[in-house]
Amino acid sequence: MEAYKRWTPAVHAAAYRVLDHPADLWLEVSGATLPQLFEHGLLALYDNLVALSTVRLTESRTVAAQGVTAALALRALLAEALFLVDTEGFLAGGARVTVEAGLPIAVRAELYGEPLDRERHELLAEVKAVTYHRLQAEAHPDGSWRAAVLLDV
């Protein structure tokens, strides 16, 4: 199990970058391990929704997803997190991710954060959907992962 940590600006820089895309938000996510790839995917999602420094870690929610490939599991996980944003306004500022061995890849994330408070949270964008477009994830020989995912905004 990966250690839980609050996402800080130093983590953001290593976690993902925004690729150039005319209409939407195209993210390249990196992780030293597969669980960290998923965690950084979540970070990238929330980092584009809200100024993460304004999110207090007072509550937790659990989301689970699976996919026959790492890319599909990542997409499904982000879609689960987005569903919580849309229905409960739940914003995360940190997460702990576990991945079960085997197929399909089953991922579970404990999200730490709080419900949206418009007085304190600076919202940055509305992510409509986590798309399948150009979705990919690949493992490197050293066990690290890199994925690309496009968010419809």
Partner 1 sequence: MCEMDTTLVRVDEFIWEIPPSGGMRVPGRIYADAALLDALGSDQSLSQVRNVAHLPGIRRYSLAMPDIHFGYGFPIGGVAAFGVDDGVVSPGGVGYDINCGVRLLATDLTRADVEGTMKRVVDQVFRDVPSGVGSHGAIHKLDRAELTRLVVQGAAWAVEHGFGHPRNLDHTESAGALHGADPDALSDRAFQRGLDQVGTLGSGNHFLEIQVVDEIFDPIAAGAFGLFEGQITLMVHCGSRGFGYQVCEDYLGVMAAAASRYGIELPDRQLACAPVTSPEAARYLAAMACAANYAWANRQMIMHLAEEALLRALSIGPKDLGLRLVYDVAHNIAKIEEHTHDGHTELLCVHRKGATRAFAPGHPELPAAYRDVGQPVLIPGDMGTASFVCKGTQAAMDQTFGSTCHGAGRVLSRAAAVKRSQGRSIERELAAVGVTVRSQGRKTLQEELPEAYKDVEEVVRVMDGAGISPRVARLRPLGVVKG
Which residues in this chain contact partner 1 in the complex, by CB under 8 A?
A: 18, 20-25, 49, 79, 83, 85-87, 89, 116, 122-126, 128-129, 131-133, 150, 152-153
- What's the N-to-C CA distance of the chain in angstroms? 32
Q: Quick one: 26 or 96, whose CB is closer to partner 1?
A: 26
* Distance from C-alpha of 153 to C-alpha of 147, rounded to nearest angstrom: 19
CB of 1 to partner 1, least distance (A): 28
Tokens 């989301």: give the residue. 63
Report residue 88 CA to chain centroid gap: 17
Q: Are 65 and 84 in contact (CB under 8 A)?
A: no
φ, ψ at 29 (rounded to 5°): -110, 140
CB of 140 to partner 1, least distance (A): 24
Q: Quick one: 88 or 100, whose CB is closer to partner 1?
A: 88
CB of 63 to partner 1, least distance (A): 13
CB of 151 to partner 1, least distance (A): 11
Q: Which residues of 107-123 are buried (b: 16+ CB within 10 A; e: fewer)?
A: bbbbbbbbebeeeebee
Q: Quick one: 132 or 140, whose CB is closer to partner 1?
A: 132
CB of 102 to partner 1, least distance (A): 22
Q: Quick one: 12 or 21, whose CB is closer to partner 1?
A: 21
- Determine the 3-state secondary structure of 66 from DSSP: strand
Q: Quick one: 24 or 110, whose CB is closer to partner 1?
A: 24
